Protein backbone atom coordinates (compact mmCIF):
# COMPACT_ATOMS: atom_id res chain seq x y z
CA UNK A 1 0.00 0.00 0.00
CA UNK A 2 1.03 3.58 -0.48
CA UNK A 3 0.81 5.54 2.74
CA UNK A 4 1.60 9.12 3.63
CA UNK A 5 2.04 10.40 7.16
CA UNK A 6 1.43 14.08 7.81
CA UNK A 7 3.57 15.19 10.74
CA UNK A 8 6.92 13.48 11.26
CA UNK A 9 7.36 13.83 15.03
CA UNK A 10 7.48 11.01 17.58
CA UNK A 11 4.30 9.34 16.40
CA UNK A 12 4.49 10.16 12.68
CA UNK A 13 8.08 9.10 12.25
CA UNK A 14 7.78 5.90 14.27
CA UNK A 15 4.52 4.95 12.52
CA UNK A 16 5.88 5.75 9.06
CA UNK A 17 9.09 3.82 9.66
CA UNK A 18 7.26 0.78 11.08
CA UNK A 19 4.72 0.80 8.23
CA UNK A 20 7.63 0.37 5.79
CA UNK A 21 8.76 -2.62 7.84
CA UNK A 22 5.22 -3.99 7.33
CA UNK A 23 5.88 -3.87 3.57
CA UNK A 24 4.17 -0.58 2.66
CA UNK A 25 5.61 2.39 0.76
CA UNK A 26 5.58 5.45 3.00
CA UNK A 27 6.12 9.17 2.51
CA UNK A 28 6.55 11.12 5.74
CA UNK A 29 5.70 14.80 5.34
CA UNK A 30 6.23 17.70 7.69
CA UNK A 31 6.00 21.48 7.48
CA UNK A 32 9.19 21.75 9.55
CA UNK A 33 11.86 22.02 6.84
CA UNK A 34 14.77 21.51 9.26
CA UNK A 35 13.26 18.21 10.44
CA UNK A 36 12.85 16.95 6.89
CA UNK A 37 16.32 18.14 5.92
CA UNK A 38 17.77 16.22 8.87
CA UNK A 39 15.82 13.08 7.96
CA UNK A 40 16.89 13.33 4.33
CA UNK A 41 20.51 13.49 5.41
CA UNK A 42 20.13 10.42 7.63
CA UNK A 43 19.77 12.20 10.98
CA UNK A 44 16.96 11.30 13.38
CA UNK A 45 15.61 14.44 15.07
CA UNK A 46 14.49 12.58 18.21
CA UNK A 47 16.08 10.04 20.52
CA UNK A 48 14.18 6.77 20.26
CA UNK A 49 16.01 3.43 20.64
CA UNK A 50 15.97 1.35 17.43
CA UNK A 51 14.41 4.02 15.23
CA UNK A 52 17.55 5.03 13.38
CA UNK A 53 18.17 1.52 12.05
CA UNK A 54 14.63 1.15 10.67
CA UNK A 55 14.68 4.60 9.10
CA UNK A 56 18.06 4.10 7.46
CA UNK A 57 17.25 0.58 6.21
CA UNK A 58 13.99 1.64 4.58
CA UNK A 59 15.31 4.97 3.28
CA UNK A 60 18.13 3.08 1.59
CA UNK A 61 15.83 0.53 -0.02
CA UNK A 62 13.55 3.31 -1.28
CA UNK A 63 10.37 2.44 0.63
CA UNK A 64 10.58 5.39 3.05
CA UNK A 65 10.99 9.00 1.96
CA UNK A 66 10.63 12.45 3.50
CA UNK A 67 9.25 15.67 2.11
CA UNK A 68 8.00 19.13 3.01
CA UNK A 69 5.60 18.96 0.07
CA UNK A 70 2.58 17.68 1.99
CA UNK A 71 0.22 17.94 -1.01
CA UNK A 72 2.52 15.88 -3.22
CA UNK A 73 2.74 13.21 -0.50
CA UNK A 74 -1.05 13.03 -0.27
CA UNK A 75 -1.53 12.91 -4.07
CA UNK A 76 0.62 9.81 -4.37
CA UNK A 77 -0.98 7.76 -1.61
CA UNK A 78 -4.19 5.83 -0.85
CA UNK A 79 -4.08 6.14 2.93
CA UNK A 80 -3.11 9.40 4.66
CA UNK A 81 -2.32 9.43 8.37
CA UNK A 82 -2.59 12.67 10.32
CA UNK A 83 0.02 12.61 13.12
CA UNK A 84 0.40 16.30 13.97
CA UNK A 85 0.55 17.70 17.49
CA UNK A 86 -2.56 18.40 19.59
CA UNK A 87 -1.13 20.42 22.48
CA UNK A 88 -3.18 22.09 25.18
CA UNK A 89 -4.77 25.26 23.88
CA UNK A 90 -3.34 28.28 25.64
CA UNK A 91 -5.79 29.63 28.18
CA UNK A 92 -8.46 26.95 28.49
CA UNK A 93 -6.74 23.54 28.31
CA UNK A 94 -8.84 22.20 25.45
CA UNK A 95 -6.89 20.29 22.80
CA UNK A 96 -5.61 22.73 20.17
CA UNK A 97 -6.89 21.20 16.93
CA UNK A 98 -5.58 23.88 14.59
CA UNK A 99 -2.80 21.61 13.27
CA UNK A 100 -5.24 18.77 12.62
CA UNK A 101 -7.64 21.04 10.77
CA UNK A 102 -4.81 22.65 8.76
CA UNK A 103 -3.67 19.16 7.74
CA UNK A 104 -7.26 18.25 6.78
CA UNK A 105 -7.50 21.30 4.48
CA UNK A 106 -4.19 20.43 2.83
CA UNK A 107 -5.26 16.82 2.34
CA UNK A 108 -8.61 17.89 0.88
CA UNK A 109 -6.93 20.02 -1.79
CA UNK A 110 -4.48 17.31 -2.80
CA UNK A 111 -6.39 14.01 -2.64
CA UNK A 112 -6.79 12.04 -5.87
CA UNK A 113 -9.17 9.09 -6.11
CA UNK A 114 -10.58 7.27 -3.09
CA UNK A 115 -8.50 8.25 -0.05
CA UNK A 116 -8.67 7.03 3.53
CA UNK A 117 -7.81 9.84 5.94
CA UNK A 118 -6.74 8.37 9.26
CA UNK A 119 -6.46 10.46 12.37
CA UNK A 120 -3.62 9.14 14.55
CA UNK A 121 -3.28 12.30 16.60
CA UNK A 122 -5.01 12.25 20.00
CA UNK A 123 -8.19 14.24 19.42
CA UNK A 124 -11.42 14.89 21.34
CA UNK A 125 -14.62 13.10 20.48
CA UNK A 126 -16.18 14.56 17.35
CA UNK A 127 -12.93 15.68 15.69
CA UNK A 128 -13.35 13.03 12.98
CA UNK A 129 -16.74 14.54 12.13
CA UNK A 130 -15.18 17.98 11.85
CA UNK A 131 -12.30 16.68 9.70
CA UNK A 132 -14.89 15.09 7.41
CA UNK A 133 -16.82 18.38 7.22
CA UNK A 134 -13.66 20.38 6.42
CA UNK A 135 -12.63 18.00 3.64
CA UNK A 136 -16.12 18.01 2.14
CA UNK A 137 -16.30 21.82 2.29
CA UNK A 138 -12.81 22.26 0.76
CA UNK A 139 -13.26 19.63 -1.94
CA UNK A 140 -16.96 18.81 -2.48
CA UNK A 141 -16.19 16.10 -5.07
CA UNK A 142 -13.65 14.22 -3.00
CA UNK A 143 -14.12 10.46 -2.52
CA UNK A 144 -12.86 9.68 0.98
CA UNK A 145 -13.44 8.14 4.41
CA UNK A 146 -12.28 9.52 7.73
CA UNK A 147 -11.00 6.99 10.26
CA UNK A 148 -9.81 7.28 13.86
CA UNK A 149 -6.77 5.20 14.79
CA UNK A 150 -5.30 6.50 18.04
CA UNK A 151 -1.73 5.62 18.88
CA UNK A 152 -0.74 4.02 22.19
CA UNK A 153 3.04 3.79 21.79
CA UNK A 154 5.27 4.78 24.68
CA UNK A 155 8.30 6.93 24.02
CA UNK A 156 11.44 4.95 24.77
CA UNK A 157 9.75 1.69 23.74
CA UNK A 158 7.96 3.04 20.68
CA UNK A 159 9.14 0.53 18.08
CA UNK A 160 8.31 -2.49 20.21
CA UNK A 161 4.92 -0.97 21.09
CA UNK A 162 4.11 -0.23 17.47
CA UNK A 163 5.11 -3.64 16.18
CA UNK A 164 3.73 -5.66 19.07
CA UNK A 165 0.82 -3.61 20.34
CA UNK A 166 -1.55 -4.75 23.09
CA UNK A 167 -4.32 -3.76 20.67
CA UNK A 168 -4.99 -1.60 17.63
CA UNK A 169 -8.09 0.54 17.92
CA UNK A 170 -9.78 1.61 14.69
CA UNK A 171 -12.86 3.80 14.51
CA UNK A 172 -14.61 3.45 11.16
CA UNK A 173 -17.96 4.38 9.73
CA UNK A 174 -17.89 2.36 6.49
CA UNK A 175 -16.76 -0.97 5.06
CA UNK A 176 -14.37 0.43 2.45
CA UNK A 177 -12.34 2.18 5.15
CA UNK A 178 -12.44 -0.94 7.33
CA UNK A 179 -10.99 -3.04 4.52
CA UNK A 180 -8.23 -0.49 3.92
CA UNK A 181 -7.30 -0.48 7.61
CA UNK A 182 -7.20 -4.27 7.69
CA UNK A 183 -4.72 -4.08 4.83
CA UNK A 184 -2.60 -1.43 6.59
CA UNK A 185 -2.29 -3.59 9.71
CA UNK A 186 -2.29 -6.98 7.97
CA UNK A 187 1.10 -8.11 9.40
CA UNK A 188 -0.09 -7.39 12.96
CA UNK A 189 -3.43 -8.97 12.24
CA UNK A 190 -1.61 -12.14 11.12
CA UNK A 191 0.40 -11.97 14.37
CA UNK A 192 -2.91 -12.03 16.19
CA UNK A 193 -2.62 -8.55 17.70
CA UNK A 194 -6.18 -7.65 18.65
CA UNK A 195 -7.63 -5.31 16.03
CA UNK A 196 -10.61 -3.59 17.57
CA UNK A 197 -13.09 -2.01 15.18
CA UNK A 198 -15.47 0.44 16.82
CA UNK A 199 -17.29 3.56 15.72
CA UNK A 200 -15.23 6.70 15.26
CA UNK A 201 -16.39 8.55 18.36
CA UNK A 202 -15.78 5.50 20.54
CA UNK A 203 -12.27 5.18 19.17
CA UNK A 204 -11.55 8.83 19.92
CA UNK A 205 -12.76 8.40 23.49
CA UNK A 206 -10.84 5.14 24.06
CA UNK A 207 -7.55 7.01 23.75
CA UNK A 208 -8.49 9.62 26.35
CA UNK A 209 -10.04 7.03 28.64
CA UNK A 210 -6.82 4.98 28.50
CA UNK A 211 -4.56 7.92 29.30
CA UNK A 212 -6.96 9.23 31.94
CA UNK A 213 -7.01 5.84 33.64
CA UNK A 214 -3.22 5.46 33.59
CA UNK A 215 -2.72 8.98 34.95
CA UNK A 216 -5.21 8.16 37.69
CA UNK A 217 -3.39 4.92 38.53
CA UNK A 218 -0.08 6.77 38.92
CA UNK A 219 -1.76 9.43 41.01
CA UNK A 220 -3.39 6.80 43.20
CA UNK A 221 -0.07 5.17 44.08
CA UNK A 222 1.47 8.60 44.69
CA UNK A 223 -1.25 9.35 47.23
CA UNK A 224 -0.68 5.93 48.80
CA UNK A 225 3.04 6.79 48.98
CA UNK A 226 2.27 9.91 51.03
CA UNK A 227 0.03 7.89 53.30
CA UNK A 228 2.75 5.23 53.66
CA UNK A 229 5.13 7.89 54.91
CA UNK A 230 2.64 8.94 57.59
CA UNK A 231 1.75 5.44 58.78
CA UNK A 232 5.16 3.77 58.45
CA UNK A 233 4.30 1.51 55.51
CA UNK A 234 6.29 0.81 52.34
CA UNK A 235 4.67 1.87 49.06
CA UNK A 236 6.68 -0.57 46.97
CA UNK A 237 5.31 -3.44 49.01
CA UNK A 238 1.82 -1.96 48.84
CA UNK A 239 2.17 -1.70 45.04
CA UNK A 240 3.30 -5.31 44.81
CA UNK A 241 0.59 -6.43 47.18
CA UNK A 242 -2.15 -4.87 45.11
CA UNK A 243 -0.51 -5.27 41.69
CA UNK A 244 -0.39 -9.05 41.92
CA UNK A 245 -4.17 -8.94 41.86
CA UNK A 246 -4.99 -9.46 38.18
CA UNK A 247 -7.87 -7.06 38.41
CA UNK A 248 -5.40 -4.31 39.27
CA UNK A 249 -2.15 -5.27 37.51
CA UNK A 250 1.36 -4.29 38.53
CA UNK A 251 2.17 -1.68 35.89
CA UNK A 252 1.99 2.07 36.53
CA UNK A 253 2.27 1.56 40.26
CA UNK A 254 5.67 3.19 40.78
CA UNK A 255 5.39 6.09 43.19
CA UNK A 256 7.34 9.15 42.09
CA UNK A 257 7.30 12.86 41.42
CA UNK A 258 4.02 12.86 39.46
CA UNK A 259 3.26 12.10 35.84
CA UNK A 260 4.50 14.34 33.05
CA UNK A 261 5.41 14.06 29.40
CA UNK A 262 3.88 14.92 26.09
CA UNK A 263 0.58 13.08 26.62
CA UNK A 264 -0.85 12.57 30.12
CA UNK A 265 -0.94 16.21 31.26
CA UNK A 266 -2.56 17.55 28.10
CA UNK A 267 -4.82 14.54 27.55
CA UNK A 268 -6.23 14.49 31.09
CA UNK A 269 -6.92 18.20 30.78
CA UNK A 270 -8.60 17.80 27.38
CA UNK A 271 -10.70 14.88 28.68
CA UNK A 272 -11.87 16.95 31.65
CA UNK A 273 -12.76 19.85 29.32
CA UNK A 274 -14.68 17.64 26.89
CA UNK A 275 -16.65 16.10 29.74
CA UNK A 276 -17.50 19.55 31.12
CA UNK A 277 -18.66 20.65 27.66
CA UNK A 278 -21.05 17.69 27.56
CA UNK A 279 -22.21 18.49 31.09
CA UNK A 280 -20.83 15.23 32.48
CA UNK A 281 -17.75 16.30 34.44
CA UNK A 282 -15.29 13.46 35.11
CA UNK A 283 -14.40 14.36 38.66
CA UNK A 284 -11.88 11.56 39.09
CA UNK A 285 -9.85 13.05 36.25
CA UNK A 286 -10.27 16.62 37.49
CA UNK A 287 -9.00 15.56 40.91
CA UNK A 288 -6.15 13.57 39.36
CA UNK A 289 -5.00 16.69 37.52
CA UNK A 290 -5.13 18.84 40.66
CA UNK A 291 -3.24 16.29 42.80
CA UNK A 292 -0.57 15.80 40.15
CA UNK A 293 -0.04 19.55 39.68
CA UNK A 294 0.55 20.02 43.41
CA UNK A 295 2.81 17.04 43.66
CA UNK A 296 5.71 18.42 41.63
CA UNK A 297 6.20 21.45 43.86
CA UNK A 298 5.75 19.18 46.88
CA UNK A 299 8.78 17.24 45.63
CA UNK A 300 10.78 20.49 45.64
CA UNK A 301 9.70 21.08 49.25
CA UNK A 302 11.00 17.61 50.07
CA UNK A 303 14.42 18.61 48.72
CA UNK A 304 14.33 21.87 50.67
CA UNK A 305 13.45 20.00 53.86
CA UNK A 306 16.41 17.66 53.32
CA UNK A 307 18.65 20.74 53.15
CA UNK A 308 17.60 21.88 56.65
CA UNK A 309 14.71 23.91 55.28
CA UNK A 310 16.78 26.33 53.26
CA UNK A 311 18.32 26.02 49.78
CA UNK A 312 19.19 29.70 49.28
CA UNK A 313 22.62 29.83 47.66
CA UNK A 314 22.99 26.06 47.93
CA UNK A 315 24.01 23.89 45.00
CA UNK A 316 21.38 21.31 44.12
CA UNK A 317 22.43 18.64 41.63
CA UNK A 318 19.67 17.17 39.48
CA UNK A 319 20.07 13.75 37.88
CA UNK A 320 17.62 13.27 35.01
CA UNK A 321 15.50 15.89 33.30
CA UNK A 322 13.32 14.06 30.78
CA UNK A 323 9.88 12.91 31.91
CA UNK A 324 11.06 9.31 31.72
CA UNK A 325 14.21 7.43 30.63
CA UNK A 326 15.08 6.56 27.02
CA UNK A 327 13.66 9.70 25.47
CA UNK A 328 14.87 13.25 24.94
CA UNK A 329 11.32 14.57 25.33
CA UNK A 330 11.08 17.36 27.88
CA UNK A 331 7.43 18.28 27.31
CA UNK A 332 5.78 18.78 30.72
CA UNK A 333 8.56 16.87 32.48
CA UNK A 334 8.20 16.99 36.30
CA UNK A 335 11.82 18.23 36.45
CA UNK A 336 10.68 21.59 35.07
CA UNK A 337 8.33 22.41 37.96
CA UNK A 338 10.69 20.92 40.53
CA UNK A 339 13.65 22.96 39.27
CA UNK A 340 11.60 26.15 39.03
CA UNK A 341 10.33 25.72 42.59
CA UNK A 342 13.88 25.16 43.84
CA UNK A 343 15.07 28.21 41.92
CA UNK A 344 12.22 30.24 43.44
CA UNK A 345 13.61 29.20 46.83
CA UNK A 346 17.05 30.48 45.84
CA UNK A 347 18.81 27.23 44.86
CA UNK A 348 21.70 27.12 42.41
CA UNK A 349 20.72 24.31 40.00
CA UNK A 350 23.19 22.05 38.21
CA UNK A 351 21.80 19.24 36.08
CA UNK A 352 22.73 16.26 33.98
CA UNK A 353 20.61 14.10 31.68
CA UNK A 354 21.97 11.50 29.21
CA UNK A 355 19.76 12.63 26.29
CA UNK A 356 17.50 15.50 27.32
CA UNK A 357 19.82 18.45 27.85
CA UNK A 358 19.45 20.05 24.41
CA UNK A 359 15.67 20.13 24.81
CA UNK A 360 15.97 21.18 28.46
CA UNK A 361 18.09 24.20 27.53
CA UNK A 362 15.15 25.55 25.51
CA UNK A 363 12.87 25.38 28.57
CA UNK A 364 15.00 25.92 31.67
CA UNK A 365 17.14 29.01 32.18
CA UNK A 366 19.78 29.63 34.86
CA UNK A 367 20.76 25.97 35.01
CA UNK A 368 24.37 24.80 34.76
CA UNK A 369 24.36 21.72 32.52
CA UNK A 370 27.06 19.14 33.30
CA UNK A 371 28.72 16.28 31.45
CA UNK A 372 27.97 13.38 33.76
CA UNK A 373 26.55 12.26 37.09
CA UNK A 374 29.80 12.93 38.92
CA UNK A 375 30.60 16.40 37.63
CA UNK A 376 27.06 17.53 38.44
CA UNK A 377 27.47 16.37 42.05
CA UNK A 378 30.78 18.14 42.77
CA UNK A 379 30.39 20.40 45.80
CA UNK A 380 26.62 19.86 45.81
CA UNK A 381 24.51 20.19 48.94
CA UNK A 382 22.03 17.63 47.63
CA UNK A 383 21.77 15.16 44.77
CA UNK A 384 18.24 14.63 43.46
CA UNK A 385 17.33 11.71 41.19
CA UNK A 386 14.38 12.90 39.11
CA UNK A 387 14.49 10.46 36.16
CA UNK A 388 15.40 6.78 36.55
CA UNK A 389 17.89 6.42 33.71
CA UNK A 390 19.75 3.09 33.94
CA UNK A 391 23.01 5.02 34.14
CA UNK A 392 21.96 6.29 37.59
CA UNK A 393 21.17 2.90 39.07
CA UNK A 394 24.70 1.94 40.04
CA UNK A 395 26.45 5.18 40.95
CA UNK A 396 29.85 5.04 42.61
CA UNK A 397 28.77 6.28 46.04
CA UNK A 398 32.23 6.70 47.51
CA UNK A 399 33.22 8.89 44.57
CA UNK A 400 30.08 10.97 45.05
CA UNK A 401 30.63 11.21 48.78
CA UNK A 402 34.18 12.44 48.32
CA UNK A 403 33.12 15.25 45.99
CA UNK A 404 29.80 16.43 47.50
CA UNK A 405 29.64 19.17 50.10
CA UNK A 406 26.71 17.69 52.04
CA UNK A 407 25.62 14.12 51.71
CA UNK A 408 21.94 14.32 50.88
CA UNK A 409 20.52 11.94 48.31
CA UNK A 410 16.88 12.49 47.39
CA UNK A 411 15.67 9.65 45.24
CA UNK A 412 12.31 10.59 43.72
CA UNK A 413 12.16 7.28 41.77
CA UNK A 414 13.00 4.83 44.55
CA UNK A 415 15.84 3.26 42.58
CA UNK A 416 18.04 2.67 45.65
CA UNK A 417 17.67 0.87 48.95
CA UNK A 418 17.80 2.98 52.07
CA UNK A 419 20.18 0.71 54.01
CA UNK A 420 22.63 0.59 51.07
CA UNK A 421 22.75 4.38 50.70
CA UNK A 422 22.90 5.08 54.42
CA UNK A 423 25.77 2.63 54.84
CA UNK A 424 27.65 4.72 52.27
CA UNK A 425 27.24 7.74 54.57
CA UNK A 426 24.36 9.62 52.97
CA UNK A 427 21.12 10.98 54.33
CA UNK A 428 18.62 9.22 52.06
CA UNK A 429 15.12 10.38 51.27
CA UNK A 430 12.86 8.52 48.87
CA UNK A 431 9.13 8.32 48.15
CA UNK A 432 6.66 6.40 50.31
CA UNK A 433 9.17 4.20 52.13
CA UNK A 434 9.86 4.22 55.84
Q: Which residues bind ligand NAD (CB under 6 A)?
A: 6-12, 29-32, 35, 70, 83-86, 99, 102-103, 106, 121-122, 151, 153, 155, 262-263
* Helix-, strand-, coil-residue percentages of the chain, each rounded to 5: 45, 15, 40
DSSP codes of every residue in 77-95: -SEEEE----PBPTTT--B
| 310 to 118, 303, 380, 408: CA distances (angstroms) | 53, 9, 14, 13
Rounded CA gap, 360 and 11, in Å? 21
Side-chain-facing half-sphere of 242: CA atoms under 13 Å: 14
Tell me how far apart the alpha carbons of residues 282 and 275 are, in angstroms, rounded to a whole number. 6
> Is the CB of 99 or the CB of 416 nearer to ligand NAD?
99
Question: Which is nearer to ligand NAD, 29 or 291 (by Cβ)?
Answer: 29
CB of 192 to ligand NAD, least distance (A): 23
- Residue 307 annotated among the catalytic residues of the structure: no
Sign of the torsion formed by the C-alpha atoms of 258, 263, 266 and 269: negative
Give the helix/strand (H/E) hosting 339: helix 334-344
Q: Which is nearer to ligand NAD, 292 or 326 (CB)?
A: 326
Instruction: Write down the least CB distance from residue 124 to ligand NAD, Å.
Output: 11
- Least Cβ distance, residue 352 to ligand NAD (angstroms): 24
Look at strands 115-119 and 79-82 and give their pairing: parallel
* Least distance in angstroms from the C-beta of 120 to ligand NAD: 6
CB-wise, 106 or 337, nearer to ligand NAD?
106
CB closer to ligand NAD out of 29 and 384: 29
Q: Whose Cβ is closer to ligand NAD: residue 85's or residue 256's?
A: 85
User: Rounded CA gap, 353 and 321, in Å?
Assistant: 6
**CA 399 to CA 358: how far, in whole Å?**
27
What one-character DSSP code corresponds to residue 378?
T
Q: In what side-by-side order are the strands of the sheet with 25-29?
A: 64-67, 25-29, 2-6, 79-82, 115-119, 144-148, 168-171, 195-198
Distances (CA, A) of 173 to 111, 118, 137: 19, 12, 19
Catalytic-role residue among 18, 28, 263, 370: 263
Write out the catalytic residue numbers: 263
Amino acid sequence: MKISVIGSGYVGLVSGACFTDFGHHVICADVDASKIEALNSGKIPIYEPGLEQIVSRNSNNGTLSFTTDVEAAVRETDVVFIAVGTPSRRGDGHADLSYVYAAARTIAKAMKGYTVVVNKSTVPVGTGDEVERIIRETNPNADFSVVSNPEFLREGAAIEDFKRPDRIVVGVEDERAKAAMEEVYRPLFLNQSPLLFVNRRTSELIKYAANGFLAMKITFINEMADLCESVGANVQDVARGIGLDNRIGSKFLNAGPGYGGSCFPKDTLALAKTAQDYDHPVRLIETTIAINDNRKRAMARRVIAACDGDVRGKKIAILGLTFKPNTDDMRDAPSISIIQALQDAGADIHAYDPEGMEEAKKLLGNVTYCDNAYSVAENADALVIVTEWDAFRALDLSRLKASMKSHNLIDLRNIYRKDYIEKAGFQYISVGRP
